[in-house]
Amino acid sequence: MAQSIGASGIIGVAIETTPGTYTAPVKFVPFNSESLKVNINPVERRPVRDSAGLIGIIPGNLTVEGDIEFDVTADTLIYFLYATRCSISKTGAGPYVYTCTPTSNAIPVKTLSISVRRGTEVFGYVGCVVVGFTIAVGDDGKMTATMSILGRNEASAAALTAVWPTAPVFQAGMYNLQIPTATQIYDADTFEFASEDNGQANGRLKNTPGAAFVNFGESNATIKLARDFDTRADYDTFKAGTSQSITMIATANANNIVNISAPAAIKTAYEVNIGGQGDLLRASIEYGCVIDATGKHYQIIVTTSENIV
């Protein structure tokens, strides 16, 4: 028996033409971790038949779920954003500009096939939807994304031969954080944008296993920052419930840009604590993103040479 380590792993993604029908990967994603798995949602059988023991276990409605974390490049991020609750408009002729705007749709417009090679075996997950995601910059300056996946089923997948992307990752020295928008600040060292759409896989009466579709529920978007604390001016806006716009622009070059904006963000938590004697005084701030006059509570614009038809 051949043994393998995690270094042999491969993940590839493709936007499905028919939701739930496997499509071979067109983009391969270098990843830090993945936890995709099939849940058979087992149903215990305990009829009364002169026994206190478990009589049997049968599969319930099958689903796929798990997270994928990867270092952000513009060309890989946009594939996952297509499976979020966003409407995406594409402009330009290379580089292309993809404007991702959240909607109130119950079901996604696009779904993904996600292929994973673990060791020598390949797993194909279909009807995959991004039901929540986080894009964050840590204190090391690297931008990472975590995609929470909910899918319909598993399908046969052929062997994978990866062609790895060459677009640059976002790193220290590539960020422009603006609060409010158009006013750059220089006292934050971490940033986190998170969107949660409370997805649910739906089983229906049919003649094949797997969920019939995935739907979205309520939508919540938040931003977290860590900033130097100099004066209480920003703290006072927290007490007053003042709304501020926030924009984070990550620019590797003219062909690789990620722009995350929240038109109306209101602080929901503001912590300033004295640590040790020699610790720098910092503030940990959380924002809730609310809708503006156009009905959007955030927007993500990705500039990339990747041409998704």
Residue 2 pLDDT > 80, yes or no? Answer: no
CB of 41 within 8 A of CB of 63? yes
Stronger pLDDT, 241 or 309, i.e. the higher one: 241
Which amino acid, 202? N
Q: What is the pLDDT of residue 5?
A: 85
Q: What is the pLDDT of residue 1?
A: 52
Any idea where the domains of the chain sit in the sequence?
Answer: 7-39+61-304
Mean pLDDT of the chain: 95
Q: What is the pLDDT of residue 275?
A: 84
User: Is the pTM above the cut of 0.85?
Assistant: yes
Report the alpha-carbon distance of residue 229 to residue 270 in Å, rounded: 11
CB of 15 within 8 A of CB of 79? yes
3-state secondary structure at position 58:
strand
Residues of the chain with pLDDT > 70: what percent?
Answer: 99
Q: What is the pLDDT of residue 8?
A: 86
Report the alpha-carbon distance of residue 111 to residue 20 in Å, rounded: 7
Q: What is the pLDDT of residue 29?
A: 98
Q: What is the pLDDT of residues 190-224, one digit of tens each?
A: 999 999 999 999 999 999 889 999 999 999 999 99
CB of 93 within 8 A of CB of 59? no
3-state secondary structure at position 112:
strand
Residue 175 pLDDT > 70, yes or no? Answer: yes
CB of 244 within 8 A of CB of 190? no
**In angstroms, what CA-CA distances link 268 with 88, 183, 292?**
29, 21, 18
Q: What is the pLDDT of residue 225?
A: 97
Q: What is the pLDDT of residues 114-144, one digit of tens each?
A: 999 999 999 999 999 999 999 999 999 999 9
> Own/partner pairs for 239-246, CB < 8 Å, 24+ apart?
241/266, 241/267, 242/266, 242/267, 243/290, 244/179, 244/180, 244/287, 245/178, 245/179, 245/180, 245/181, 246/177, 246/178, 246/179, 246/180, 246/181, 246/287
Q: What is the pLDDT of residue 6?
A: 80
